[in-house]
Amino acid sequence: MAKRKDSNQLTIKDMISAPVQPQLITETIEKNYMPYVMSVIISRAIPEIDGLKPAHRKLLYMMYKMGLLTGGRTKSANVVGATMKLNPHGDASIYETMVRLTRGNETLLHPLIDSKGSFGKVYSSDMKYAAARYTEVKLDTFCETLFAGIDKNAVDMVPNYDNTMEEPVLLPTAFPNVLVMPNTGIAVGMASNICSFNLNEICDGTIALLRKPSLTVDKLMEIIKAPDFPCGGTILYDPAEMREVFETGSGSITIRSRYKYDKENNCIDILQIPYTTSIEIIMKKIQTMVKEGKLKEITDFRDEIDLNGFKLTLDLRRGVNPDKLMQKLFSQTTLQDAFKCNFNILIDSVPKQMGVLEILQEWIKFRIQCIKRELAFDLDKKQKQLHLLLGLGKILLDIDKAIRIIRRTEKEEDVVPNLMEGFDIDKIQADYIAEIKLRHLNRQYILNRIAEIEDLQKEIAEIESILADELKQKAYIANQLVEIKKKYGKPRLTQIVGADTVEVYNEVEEVEEFKGKIFFTAEGYLKKVAAISLLRGGDAQKMKEGDYIVSETEVSNEDNLIFLTDRAQLWRAKVSDFEMVKSSQIGEYVPAKLGMESGEKAILMHIQNKYPPNENLVFIFENGKGVRVPIQQYEITSNRKKMTGAYSKASPIVAAFYENEKNPLDILIYSDDGRAIVIKSSLIPLKATKTASGNTLMSLKKGAKVTAALTDYESLIEGKVIKKQSVPATGSPIVLKPVIGAHE
């Protein structure tokens, strides 16, 4: 028997033949698309002024309600299950959120969850976290700063998705967590990418803004130096780029890995990498470069992450310059990477991109409201307590009367009205008195309770004064920030170096073989002359009029040079940085080549490939003092071109020399009153500090000063100078012939 067709049932044929109902695209977007967009932006992806996204906040609040701020750890599975009362998106996503907040994962500068077990690492995509049934968690003590005042009506509470419990709209964070906790979110049509800053600097910057609301971005940047990433590394500081981040919340921050060269094993240990990459990404790129023949400098590389932390080791071929290799890797791998800032934050459910200064201003507004609500809660509680005690004070006048009233009252419901009438008190006070235990109806108990009235009145007056004065509210917040900094502050993990002080790798640059000499003149010119050019041109070297050569050295292009200047700075360069010239040319002017300050002059040049323990720099000063500093004090592993504070600025520099302790120098020291001494450099004190002012070498008459110090002096003096065996020593009269380049 055939089935009867339902009159309301449409066949596919009917549906195809049915006319299409037109609908405006704007109406579709408004009714169907926009609610989804707003839901993702507001309820999922973009953090709010407390620094948390909804998933973070729901998880942390549920752990707080479970007593995990003060209690012991519990299985992660318990927390995940309980959190589903607030966040019904599935156990996997909740656990992933938890992992990122744990101490074990190392994603945060200040972890919010104290964890036990394997939670993976932020710097490795292959290190997976263990299942929730194996790991244990509790709230870190640092979270007390997030929940301060939450039980005192500091923030609004709303029902959860099934109206069975309440949850906070925001957490009343006692510090600007929004700038301390890194956060990334991708919504629909917008995204947020917030880097972390150092807690100490953020607290100091916020306190400065509380005290001076007109604080400028420039002043704030003096306090909050730059972001501080959990993975460490080195920020290449660009003032213009950093200012844009502070002003607009948008910009790029370049981060370099930090490494150490192991001379004994001829390998590079990379100890910190940018927050934006992982060891797997780096190793995959290195492997590709090795296969393509673009990285012949290394023989092996391996992941050596262990309980001590991150380590990526590169084994080098013999003769490879580790710093030059790292320059190459910085330019071609994510060992140097950029963090793209996009400080998009929800303010009253409206997404807004803000700079660091504006974020702190918004947080201060938010925190003031939290403090006012918290203080209002305390005020109401204390006023109610005071009201009860004032009623209790009235029965102190006649305790026996109160007992008689209660005893003679026939009905229980008449006790409170009779007490109200008998002592002229209100119902709340009468209820309180009626509930007092019989054992407490004695003079001593009542007097002790009434003694609290004065303290309560003082506390109420103090709270009322704070609520009435915004300056006091800001001072209250500042005091809390001082305590938080003192208790939880940590030193910076990420170093800061000027972007203009590091070398940039040039892929097309190939260092050619070079054999020859470099000549350094008194006026600061350097000539790099090939050996064949020297053979053809002889010994004659063209120089500016009045200039002369102070040193000449055989070198190769791989050699490193150091230049000491009269501004107490040490500059580094490579021989390959200088152009080859002919003997008939005057060469390159070193201050201009290296970008020295205006008027700065190089007073010493030396080949410095190694930093042996028995070699020193010798400094002679205008006040007759001198000092030796071990060359090891000037060794650095980074590619910094300039070192400031190379020697003491207590007196103007007269001369600097390079000394090998095995062959001490004979140094003539000459003063402007025509006297001189000659001493061995070994008599000059050796100091471990670069800026040590040294000891007196030559005793000077009043008003006299040292004007020259020479090592090749025999042909330049008239008269005999006796070599001194100790210092300080008095000079002998001599005549110093005019010397081109000598100090006047």
CA separation for the pair 519, 88 (Å, rounded): 76
The phi-psi region of residue 144 (left if phi > 0; otherwise alpha if psi is between -120 and 50; otherwise beta) is alpha
Cα–Cα nearest to 654, from 636, 638, 672:
672
At residue 167, φ and ψ (nearest 5 deg) are -140, 155
The answer to whether residues 641 and 503 touch, using CB atoms and an 8 Å cutoff, is: yes
Structure token pair of residue 473: 């509210």
What is the four-CA torsion angle of 603, 609, 614, 619, rounded to 10 degrees? 10
Q: How far is CA 547 from the centre of its chain?
A: 48
Q: Whose structure tokens read 């620094």?
A: 51
Cα–Cα nearest to 202, from 181, 171, 184, 223:
223
CA quadruple 388, 393, 396, 397: dihedral sign: negative
Please provide the size of the chain in residues.
744
Query: Over 553-613, what HEC string results?
Result: EEECCCCEEEEEECCCEEEEEEHHHCCECCCCCCCEEHHHHHCCCCCCCEEEEEECCCCCC
Q: Which residues pair with 11 in a beta bridge?
A: none
Give the HSE-up count for residue 63: Cα atoms under 13 Å, Cβ half-sphere.
Answer: 37
Q: What angle do CA 326, 329, 332 make, to 5 degrees?
A: 155
Q: Whose structure tokens read 């990477």?
A: 337
The phi-psi region of residue 163 (left if phi > 0; otherwise alpha if psi is between -120 and 50; otherwise beta) is left
Alpha-carbon distances, residue 679 vs 39, 603, 634, 687 (angstroms)? 82, 21, 25, 18
The answer to whether residues 176 and 51 touch, using CB atoms and an 8 Å cutoff, is: yes
Q: How far is CA 686 from the centre of its chain?
A: 36
CA separation for the pair 397, 375 (Å, rounded): 34
- First-to-last CA distance in the chain? 125
DSSP letter for 413, please. G
Assign 3-state DSSP to the chain and report helix, strand, coil percentages, each to 5: 35, 25, 40
- Residue 237 annotated to the active site: no
CA separation for the pair 462, 588 (Å, rounded): 72
Identified catalytic residue from 134, 161, 548, 611 = 134
Q: Please identify every residue annotated as catalytic.
A: 134
